Chains A and B, each alone.
Chain A
Amino acid sequence: MAELDPITLTVIQAALQQVCDEMDLAFSRAAFSPVIAEANDRSDGIYAADDGALIAQGVGGLPVFVGVMEYSTRTLIEMIADGRCLPPEPGDIYIVNDPYLGGTHLMDVRFARPVWRDGKIFCWLSNTGHWPDIGGSVPGGFSASATAVEQEGLRLPPVKLFKRGELDPEIHAIIASNIRVADQRIGDIKAQAAALMVGEERLCALLDRYGDDTVLAAIAELRRRAAEQMRARIADIADGVYRATAHVDSDGVVDRPLTIALAVEKTGDRLVFDFAGSSPPCAGPMNSVLATTLSSIYLAMRHIFPDVPLSAGAFEPLEIRRPEGTFLDAHYPRPVSGCAAEVSQRIAEAVFAALVQALPEHVTAAPAGSSGNFALGGHDPARGRDYVMYQISGGGYGGNSDHDGLSNGCSTIGISKSPPIEVMEQAYPILYRHYALREGSGGAGRQRGGFGLAYEVELLRGEARASFVMDHGRFGPQGVLGGADGGVNTVTVWRDGIAHVPQHLSKEQDIALKPGDRVSVGTPGGGGYGNPRERDPALVRRDVALGYYTEAEAMEKFGVTADLLADDEA
């Protein structure tokens, strides 16, 4: 075996990364579901043969999947070893979406395919795609009031969807009979499988070029070095315990906030994450499964240190105490649909809020941190058909040591674009009354938070039902180091001209609408960073001139005087 010099190591690292990036590209380009094709709600990676440890993952993959596939691959390997799952043969692809077997919510469907070399498994390739529907009580799967996983959709243990390269028609038929708009899913299934084939082809070319043993040795060494890199980053943090809390408005069923209590203890080159004191498992769908909780910490750390590569080694210095007995470690049959979209973002917020104390230059104030799911399902009499519409939306980012937060940024755990409103109006019987920057919502600070979004949708034809799974309706995204919280999420439903505010503020299911009824949403602004009174008055004046804040707001939030605002020297 060749000597592993640092250059060969870098070459192999880049090549492994390239394999993953090309899998991501192949998956998105061939996918049907806009959630995957346009919103990139998918991820592809390479996992170790023995324990499923993450070897490399595409940089364009959805952040919340960063750690998840490692756990799902590991579970699959264990289940094959103890006979709960049939052993693989060349050409087989397993499908699984069970949240409790290393997953997120049911809509995130994982495929896994072993790469064979000389009759043995060299590694696993796996990918996850968010399917637009997986059955269950509400179209799209985001029930705000499910109380058991069975209400959320079809749950698949790991089974072979492809056997020796061929799609198993029986398993496909079972899936197709249990999900909505099934006819288009065959396109996504083929795209998801094709991405793994692309990965295998590229990976084998790499192995042929450098030799299997050299690549294996490089993988081990890269893992060791990624751990070192993360340790070096951690070593810069002052020893101590950094505490933070974050709140989920409610679980959608019981109207009471859920608390995430986080203590991050830094000693030497390790960080210990402890969620003791967090709320117990909840009745509604705001539970998180362990894999998602871990993944949320990883993605938050990656947001803080974007230069540390995505590999199992980078996670080694992070010791996460299993949050048993809390809603962050839910077991069957707790409902979990909100875990990937909302709870994960509150976990990330807690990590940011704890570590900004130690790393004020690297961490921002809290971002809006909600996917802003608004679903509308109904019947369009003009077209004689049923429809389900989703509006996802962004919000303000937190200020940071260098600049103000972005407005209408993507969710912390996502990278997906929101759909154009013209396209939404073409497809559904709705009319947007406005779609605007939400003035006043950015949290005041030396660097203020970015602004959320304000939109209002009117139903034009037929009857429909509106559902919301959002968050931050009760508590705005946290300001830090003296900065103020961002504006809270608001939902108002106008029926016959009468305003209805959901009891749980950010969550409610199946609100009946008639033509002319309207839904009005304001998404959260980002938290402010630093003392607002230290903000450059010229910037406050500019914010007022641009209409971001009224004069009265500027005086109250930033402590400026009317004279200062009138001063047009700047």
Chain B
Amino acid sequence: MDEKNRAGPASTVAGIDVGGTFTDLILIDAASGGRVRLAKTPTTGANQAEGVVDALAQTGFPVEAIDLIVHGTTTTTNAVLERRLARTGMITTRGFRDIIELGRRTRPQPYGMTGRFEPVIARDLRLEVGERMTAAGTVHTPLDEDELRAAVVRLRDRGCEALVIHFLHAYANPRHELRAAEIAAELWPNDHITMAHALLSEAREFERGVTAAVNAAVQPILQRYVERLRRDLRGKGYKREFLVMNGNGGMISAGLVAREAAKTVMSGPASGVMAAAYTARRAGFGDIVTYDMGGTSTDVAMVRASRPAVSNEIEIEYAMPIHVPMVDVRTVGAGGGSIARVNNAGLLEVGPESAGALPGPICYGRGGTRPTVSDANLLLGRLNAQKLLAVDGAADLDTIGDVFARTLGAPLGLDATGAAGAVLRIGNLRMAGAIRMVSIAKGHDPRDFSLFAFGGAGPLHACALARELGIPRVIVPARPGITNALGCVVADLRHDFVRTLNRPLADLDMAAVQAILNEQAGEGRDLIAREAVRPERIEIVHSADMQFVGQTHLLNVALPGPAVERATLQALFEKAYFARFKVKLPEIRANLVNLNTSVIGIRPELDLSTLIDPAGRADTLAGAQAATRPVWFAGDWLDTPVYAREQLPLEARIDGPAILEQMDATTVLEPGDRAVSDGDGNLIITAAKA
């Protein structure tokens, strides 16, 4: 990258996140002392680039004056989940083409012997060639190059746009995959060739194969999208390279992103977690559980010491593992659209069925007829009926009340209000349980955490959930609805490396460990040197995935540096193990499975204090009060003050019950909850005890 074209630390940055419904933009203008501009436009389905350009136009800021655009996209996520994939071929070791179709002998759910599964690449586009490596990485059968050529040509002639080379044990010796890719490159019309070992260099042929298949199948789609957006941005005067968010929470140049396209699959949720970690750190909180509730699902992640947990083992849907380092965001199948019903035992159930975006909750007026969590919020006065029901064709409160009374109230012996209250109570309980399973229950004390609530519906439920979870504090950021876009702006450059060793600690060559860690760090520095943006400094984080010999689960242990002593490593592991499982096992030896290095190009600190324009602040809390309306809390209708979030005075103290409204989110304080607004516009809420 030409040095003069690299954006320096102090610059005007735009973060743009394309979500399922809206494209959100946040622009921080360095020249005007960090003034913030926001935009929100509908996501354009067929070509997301249009929505991006619309959002830029909406800011009124001259596009050519923007130093850096960072983009979060759902292009690859949607391609995978909706199976709109590029036609892709796969070449495997003879005898093993069915690996990605057979999986690991599973079924989608513990009970019920039904379910479907479609492999990413259909069987007739998976061909086999003679070659075989052993587990030790020695050649058992040489690569049959003629057969390989014939297979490449056959897949090319059958219209494949991308190609995967997936050979057994290529992580141990990649020679055959490298040679095969070299030959394929001579015959293939483009550079969409994925070598499975290059993306994920560890044993487990199904997971590695699916990861590679997903990468190849979304590569042409991401490439086309990036090119189109680049053209459109150039047309508007933006001459630099833009960056794209990766699932690991870092960003990467648009020109490099397609090579490892699979890494963008979780980019939206990862971006939100990065923003949450950043915002919470500035507010003084390092340990958080992030909680992003939307219409059909809720994303949850753990952040410790301001660092989001990263996992190499995310499964984005049944039998669809994508094993590249990604922010460990877990999706819980509950949201505002979760449907409530009374089962044939006379008990209320909320979810797992969802009304989704279509037909959606009754209150959306898109044909939904079954009661949902969002409808309950509306009936109970938590959501502003005037605002929400302004939509054309929306159902009125009476209609919704009738549905609750008839379908839920009658069998439960409750009126419509009582039924709606019950839906919230059970919905929150189920959601809290699911959140516990993916976060706190993995050996953490909830009292050490804060619940960071964002997304359209997160702040509505956060206080009740925190109570249920035993988490003492809730943080609602200034702009809950644009957290993902904010993540684009605050994210760092990041490259992650994993090397599998899988050896007992006692047998390790510690000099080799040091060499591997240094090599990983060097590779990361080189990549960052090629990026379109210059970081303030580079941070290198080393860790080891360890276990006791005989175990299968891994525990990630942070390393002080590349030169680590065997005894230190043993001690660090034992300490981490005890902290997690409260078990000491002096009888058993430790095993080192992976060495990891993250190379992070730290971007300059951003001032978030203008996310809510300070000029709009009222002098007193009373000055920010917009209305009073009756809201139902635990059995009673209480006259509840409604505040305009943007007008809250600095360090305002608000005691629940209270409702805080802003453009795209509503925060509910229940009786006993106490909130303070801080300098960045966050609400720091102390949740009343259960």
Partner-B contacts on A (CB < 8 A): 5-7, 9-11, 13-15, 17-18, 21-22, 25-26, 28-34, 37-38, 59-61, 63, 181, 183-184, 186-187, 190-191, 194, 209, 225-226, 228-229, 232-233, 299, 302-303, 306-307, 309, 352, 364, 367, 392-394, 397-398, 400, 402-404, 406-410, 412, 415-418, 420-423, 425-426, 431-437, 453, 545-548
Given contacts A194-B582, A436-B97, contact A7 B426 (CB under 8 A): yes
- Given the complex, which residues of A lie within 8 Å of B96, measured CB to CB? 432, 434-436
B550 touches A187 (CB 8 A): yes
Distance from B585 Cβ to chain A, minimum over Cβ atoms (Å) = 6
Tell whether A435 pairs with B206 under 8 Å between CB atoms, given A63-B110, A183-B587, A402-B114. Answer: no
Contact of B107 with A by CB under 8 A? yes
**Closest chain B residue to A60, Cβ basis:** B110
Indicate if B334 sits at the interface (CB-CB under 8 A): no
Contact indicator per residue, chain B 539-557, by CB within 8 Å of chain A (1) or not (0): 0000000001111110000
| A184 lies within 8 A of B583 (CB) | no
**Could you tell me if A403 and B114 are in contact, using CB atoms closer than 8 angstroms?**
yes
Measured CB to CB, the closest approach of chain A to B177, in angstroms, equals 14
Interface of B is mostly: loop
Q: Is the CB of A37 within 8 A of B551?
A: yes
* B429 close to A (CB within 8 Å): yes
Q: Chain B residues near A13 (CB, 8 Å)?
A: 347
Known contacts A6-B346, A30-B581, A422-B168; A183/B588 CB under 8 A: yes
In the bound complex, residues from chain B placing their C-beta under 8 Å from that of A397 are 107, 113-115
Rounded to whole angstroms, the CA-CA distance of A87 and B667 in the bound complex is 54
Please report which residues of chain B, range 370-401, place their CB below 8 angstroms from some CB of chain A when the two chains form the complex.
none
Give min CB distance, A131 to chain B, whole Å: 13
B135 at the interface (CB under 8 A from A): yes
Given the known interface contacts A9-B347, A417-B104, A431-B134, the answer about A546 and B168 at a Cβ–Cβ threshold of 8 Å is: no
Closest-CB distance, A301 to chain B (whole angstroms): 10
**Interface: B284 (CB within 8 A):** no
Binding site for A on B (CB under 8 A): 94-99, 101-107, 109-117, 122-124, 132, 134-135, 140, 168-169, 171, 203-207, 343-349, 412-413, 422, 425-426, 429-430, 433, 436-437, 441-443, 502, 548-553, 581-583, 585, 587-588, 690
- Are B433 and A417 interface neighbours, CB within 8 A? no
Q: Determine the residue in chain B with the shortest Cβ distance to A17.
A: B433
Cβ–Cβ contact B583 & A367, under 8 A = no
The one of A34, A63, A232, A422 that contacts B205, using a Cβ cutoff of 8 Å = A422
Report the minimal beta-carbon distance from A282 to chain B, rounded to whole angstroms: 27
Is the Cβ of A547 less than 8 Å from the Cβ of B124? yes
Also in contact, A38 and B552, with CB within 8 A (given A225-B347, A412-B113): yes
Using known A-B contacts A14-B426, A22-B436, A436-B95, determine if residue A420 contacts B205 with beta carbons closer than 8 Å.
Answer: yes
Contact partner of B106 (CB less than 8 A), chosen from A17, A34, A232, A410, is A410
Min C-beta distance of A420 to chain B, whole Å: 4
Given contacts A7-B426, A191-B583, A397-B115, 13 further A-B contacts (CB under 8 A): A6-B347, A6-B413, A15-B429, A22-B441, A29-B581, A32-B548, A225-B346, A302-B111, A397-B107, A425-B134, A435-B98, A435-B99, A437-B101
| Cβ contacts under 8 Å, B553 to chain A | 28-29, 37-38
Q: Are A10 and B426 in contact (CB under 8 A)?
A: yes
- Of A37, A418, A422, A545, chain B has the most CB atoms within 10 Å of the CB of A422
In the bound complex, do residue B548 and residue A187 qualify as a contact, i.e. CB atoms below 8 Å apart?
Answer: yes
In the bound complex, residues from chain A placing their C-beta under 8 Å from that of B436 are: 18, 22
Please name 24 pairs of A and B residues whose Cβ atoms are closer than 8 Å in the assembled complex, sorted by A. A10-B422, A11-B429, A21-B433, A25-B437, A25-B442, A26-B441, A28-B553, A31-B551, A187-B550, A232-B344, A303-B112, A306-B111, A307-B343, A364-B114, A400-B114, A406-B116, A407-B102, A407-B117, A420-B205, A420-B207, A422-B171, A426-B203, A453-B105, A546-B124
The 10 closest A-B pairs by CB, nearest first: A394-B105, A434-B95, A417-B104, A225-B345, A229-B345, A425-B135, A306-B111, A437-B98, A422-B203, A184-B550
In the complex, the answer to whether B437 meets A229 with C-beta atoms within 8 Å is no
A11 to B585, CA, bound (A): 38
A309 contact set on B, CB distance < 8 A: 345
CA distance A191 to B580 in the complex (A): 12
Q: Given A420-B205, A425-B169, does the pair A546, B122 have CB atoms closer than 8 Å?
A: yes
Residues on A with C-beta less than 8 A from B422 are 6-7, 10
Known: A6-B347, A409-B106, A545-B124. A436 touches B98 (CB 8 A): yes
- A423, B102: Cβ atoms closer than 8 Å: no
Complex-state Cα separation, A422 to B430, whole angstroms:
39
- What is the distance, in angstroms, from A183's C-beta to the closest C-beta of chain B? 6
Specify which chain B residues have a CB less than 8 angstroms from the CB of A431 in the assembled complex.
132, 134, 140
A228 near B552 (CB under 8 angstroms)?
no
